[in-house]
Amino acid sequence: MATIQFDLVSPERKLASVEALEIQIPGADGDFTAMAEHAPMLTTLRPGLLSVTTNNNVTEYIVTGGFVEISGTNASVLAEQALPKAEVTREVIDNLIAVATAALENIPPEDVDAANKRLSDTRILLELI
């Protein structure tokens, strides 16, 4: 089966650089799967679970947002924050929720809906741990 080069980086570290069979991505407009020869696209991420399948192995990451660029042979994710799912605890998610909640305090009225959506998406991360 054809593969796609997958790279995941956050400001803190490079988390992955592998040949993947498929990548399940929490896009801002909905979840989608990228595979080899995927149509080129650039989109934003929402808080959620990103999973990467390589041969018979699936690795999962929690991402809080960022960007993904896909071409036929490469998928690059630049995450605001990303952690292997195995490293995520209730305390980590609670801190992310606190940051998203604090962002609502001094936000312009035109940005309130987007900030509430981000908070809602962040709260859903609790279901993933």
List per-residue pLDDT tens for the chain, 129 residues long: 899 999 999 999 999 999 999 999 999 999 999 999 999 999 999 999 999 999 989 999 999 999 999 998 999 999 999 999 999 999 999 999 999 999 888 899 999 999 999 999 999 999 988
What is the model's pTM?
0.90
Three state DSSP letters for the chain: CCCEEEEEECCCCEEEEEEECEEEEEECCEEEEECCCCCCEEEEECCEEEEEEECCEEEEEEECCEEEEECCCEEEEEECCEEEHHHCCHHHHHHHHHHHHHHCCCCCHHHHHHHHHHHHHHHHHHHHC
